Amino acid sequence: MAAGEVGLQAIRYSRGRLQLLDQRKLPLETIYIDVYDSSGGWHAIQDMVVRGAPAIAIAAALSLAVEAVNLETKPTSLDEALHFLHTRLDHLVTSRPTAVNLLDAATKLKNKTSDAALRTSNAAEILVVYVDAAEAMLAADIASNKAIGDYGADLISGQSKRDGKLSVLTHCNTGSLATAAYGTALGVIRSLNLQGKLNTVYCTETRPFNQGSRLTAYELVYEKIPAVLIADSAAAALQSSGKIDAVVVGADRIASNGDTANKIGTYNLALAAFHHGIPFYVAAPLTSIDTALSSGDSIVIEERSSKELTHSHAGHGPQVAASGISVWNPAFDITPAKLITAIITDKGIITKPEGSLVFDILGFLNAH
């Protein structure tokens, strides 16, 4: 891949056609699935065909865009057009509960179409406003990821202990496969590599769904970025070895004090980083911030099927756990702001006010 290109594509879109790369099949098979409507979008998100907070939001928005474009019987009144769009957006939001990007996208799309309805009496125009706005989100996500990559690489490149090159640890998949393109935490790593400042990236397996070994490892090999895969359980030992200059992860929902929901196991990495004095960064677009929450206490954590633990291949392979065992399988955890060094966003770096253990994200947003 040439410098500046965006890498693998989780989402292929042209007006009226949406295809999603079936991430359940990676890394062994590359299969794109056609999504014809919002119901197909809902199932693709729920079944993990597409995953990663920004990619979920965009896939959902575009699934409704293709439905709107290909409708055989178009709404004839403004009310009908708004009802068609808004009820489907409300349903899409229920597909997965933890990442806020989908709720943020749906709210913006509802507001945009409601505003448009004040200026026109033409129902067809409302659908066009919707499709344009959903398509704009696709482009905006790529631009915002590149900005995160550049801000993050500039910030982290100061941390090097080895001849100006850094080694970083990351978790889950936050790359091209989790976004419209480029990635968030993996975008930072990609930018470091493009600047010649990356020594090695260590990626965790990310049990039980293995987003790290299946998806991140695949992206890193595909892009020839120097990388090493580790078991989740090796992460603390790796951090104690002195080989890691920084930990960089993504986010599914960030409360306004900086508490961050991200893939299960992120909290473990943050605790080990804190213990070993290693900077711990969260890289995410502003669309991952939930300004309605003052802390992470009320973030809803998705719990997934016990089969992801009792059977191999994230629940699709042979049984590996004892029959009859009870299972607790949360898909995300909350890392307290106290353990986070800084949040790298598309609008710059959020740090904590002097002497504070938490972030003032509302203050940052007001200033940007």
Of 82 and 142, the one with the shorter C-beta distance to ligand MRU is 142
Q: Which of residues 125-164 bind ligand MRU (CB under 6 A)?
A: none
Give the distance, in angstroms, between the CA of residue 99 and the centroid of all CA atoms in the same chain. Answer: 8
Query: What is the signed CA dihedral for 140, 142, 146, 147, rounded to 10 degrees?
Result: 10
- Spatial contact of 336 and 254, defined as CB atoms under 8 Å apart: no
Q: Report DSSP letters for 15-26, one per residue.
A: TTEEEEE-TTST
Please, what is the end-to-end C-alpha distance for the chain in angstroms? Answer: 33
Judged by CB, which is closer to ligand MRU: 123, or 340?
Answer: 340
Q: Is 115 a catalytic residue?
A: no
Q: Smaller CB distance to ligand MRU: residue 123 or 147?
A: 147
- Which listed residue (245, 252, 259, 333) binds ligand MRU by CB under 6 A? 252
Could you give the string, one character per residue 25-54, with x where binding to ligand MRU holds by CB under 6 A and - elsewhere?
A: --------------------------xxxx
Inter-axis angle of helices 53-70 and 78-93, to 10 degrees?
A: 150
Short-list 189, 245, 266, CA closest to 220 = 189
Q: Which is nearer to ligand MRU, 100 or 131 (CB)?
A: 100
SS3 145: helix
We find the least distance from the C-beta atom of residue 149 to ligand MRU, in angstroms, to be: 12
**The pairing of beta strand 280-283 with beta strand 17-21:** unpaired
Binding pattern for the stretch 204-243 against ligand MRU, x by CB under 6 A and - elsewhere: -------x--------------------------------
Q: Which two three-digit tokens encode residue 313? A: 């291949």
Q: How far is CA 364 from the centre of its chain?
A: 21
Q: Give the torsion sign (CA, 206, 209, 213, 216).
A: negative
CA–CA separation, 56 and 41 (whole Å): 9
Residue 162 is classified by DSSP as B
> Could you tell me the smallest distance in angstroms from the CB atom of residue 287 to ligand MRU?
10
Q: Looking only at residues 321 through 350 of this chain, which bind ligand MRU when binding is defined by CB under 6 A?
A: 331
Helices (H), 253-316: 266-276, 307-310
296 binds ligand MRU (CB under 6 A): no
| Residue number with the smallest Cβ distance to ligand MRU | 250
Give me the least distance between CB of 9 and ligand MRU, in Å please: 15
Residue count, binding to ligand MRU (CB under 6 A): 17
Among 152, 208, 250, 336, binds ligand MRU (CB under 6 A): 250
What tokens appear for 7 in the block? 């890498």
262 binds ligand MRU (CB under 6 A): yes
Nearer to ligand MRU, 78 or 235 (CB): 235
Stretch of residues binding ligand MRU (CB under 6 A), selected from 1-9, 125-133, 192-200, 245-253: 245-253
Residues 166-195 that bind ligand MRU (CB under 6 A): 172, 174, 178-179, 184
Q: Provide the 8-state DSSP code for 319.
A: B
- Tell me whether residue 67 or residue 346 sits nearer to ligand MRU (CB atom): 346
Among 214, 253, 263, 352, binds ligand MRU (CB under 6 A): 263
CA angle 310, 93, 129 (to 5 degrees): 145
How many residues can be counted in the chain? 368
> Tokens 């998949």 identify what position?
173
Residue 242 Cβ vs ligand MRU, minimum distance, rounded to whole Å: 26
* Edge-to-edge order in the sheet of strand 332-335: 289-290, 253-255, 260-263, 332-335
Annotated catalytic residue, options 104, 141, 232, 252: 252
Nearer residue to ligand MRU within complex by CB, 126 or 148? 148
7 counts as binding ligand MRU under rule CB under 6 A = no
Residues belonging to the active site: 252
List residues near ligand MRU by CB under 6 A: 51-54, 99, 172, 174, 178-179, 184, 211, 250-252, 262-263, 331
